[in-house]
Every structure is written in structure tokens, then in C-alpha cells.
Amino acid sequence: MKITTLRRSSAVVVAATALTLGLGACGSSDNTAGDTSSDSTPMSASSPTSAAAMSGAASQTFGPACSAIPKSGAGSFDGMVKDPVATAASNNPLLSTLVTAVGKAGLVDTLNGADGLTVFAPTNDAFAKLPKATLDKVLADKATLTKILTHHVVAGQLDPTKVVGAQTTLNKDGVTVSGDTNGMSVDGAKVLCGNIPTANATVYVIDTVLMPKGM
């Protein structure tokens, strides 16, 4: 009887152990699937449609290229919001040509010292659309360069609801902003990433250099 009981007890233990291992294997499989889902999350988070779900300074941005902004460091959304606009732009690798132009025009202190601005910032690729000879000539002509750059700046930190419409630039001419966070343009230049906050400005990164009339 004792031997029979012992055998039965052993059988129960073996069965229980097998059941536990089976459940553990299922749990492991579920976790693996969860890990796969987790791995896909960063891809989803970097897509244009999920920018509003991001935290910090990124939460108010919009546009198809916001995912191209660095995720950390001084050139990230959270980094740029701490610096005045010219300094913030200098930390962003997408805007290095613009930063060079601002420096040549002597506008760094002017932009950094302003109380509140909205800046339409052409990317490096936007400047690359210009013929090299034209770009070199403009960069060498401070007066012309200043007119072009101030044509990209308006007074006040304007969010997507306030920036739409006719705006007067610091060059004392005008630009027209149309659309909304689902698609915005400035005189035909597409907004790639908009409503980026800096310490004293709101930035809208655009895909084309805006030219004042007559230029």
C-alpha cells in the first residue's frame, strides 16, 4: 500500500511538473510575442502620425519629417526648447546651411535676443535646390542675404492656428501660410516639421528657400 501510494504521489508530482513547464512555455511564447510588439513600437513612434503622442517638447510638433529630428541631445526637441532660436538651430544637423547663412548675415544676436519670433527654417536640402553659383553669390552678399533670411521670420511665437494666413515678415514684406497640422505650406514651401519650440521662437522647418518678390 505504501509503495502504491508513493507511486501515485510521484505520478501526481510528475504531472504537475509537466503542467507547470507547459504553462511556462506558453508564457515564454507570449512574452516573445510581446517583445516583438515592443520592438515595433519605436518604428510606430517615429512615424509622422504619432508625433502628438510623444512626450515633452515633441508633443506639440507636427509634420512628416519630425522623426528626422534627433531624439536626444541639444539638437532634439527637448534640447532646442532650452536655447534661443539661432543657438537651437546651430545644434540641429538638418539646419547647418541656414546657420551658416545667419552667421554670415550677422543675425545671430538679433535672432537670439528677440522676445518672440516665428521662423520658417529651410533645411540643408532646401538650400541645395539653389544653383551653387547662386547660393555662393547670395552668401557673399550680406545685404541680399539679410533680406532673404528676414523674409523667413515674422514677429510673435505663432502656433499652427495663429500662423495660418497672411503674415508680415521682418523684411517688411509678406508670406502666406495655408493648411493645418495635416498639411501646411508657406508660399508653396511644404512644412516638414512645424511648431517646434525654442526658448524665444517657434520654428517651422520647410523644404524650400523663400525668396522676396523681385529676387
Helix (H, G, I), strand (E, B) or coil at 206: strand
- The pLDDT of residue 39 is 36
- The pLDDT of residue 55 is 59
Cα 211-213-215 angle, rounded to 5 deg: 65
- The pLDDT of residue 126 is 98
Does residue 45 or residue 139 have the better pLDDT?
A: 139
- Looking at residues 152-169, what average pLDDT do you find? 98
- Looking at residues 139-152, what average pLDDT do you find? 97
Phi, psi dihedral angles at 73 (to 5 degrees) = 90, -175
Residue 84 Cα distances to 58, 112, 140, 201, angstroms = 17, 5, 26, 7
pLDDT greater than 60 at residue 163: yes
Q: What does DSSP assign to residue 169?
A: B
pLDDT one-digit tens code per residue, 80-135: 999 999 999 999 999 999 999 999 999 999 999 999 999 999 999 999 999 999 99
CB 189 within 8 A of CB 206: yes
- Looking at residues 176-181, what average pLDDT do you find? 98
pLDDT greater than 70 at residue 42: no
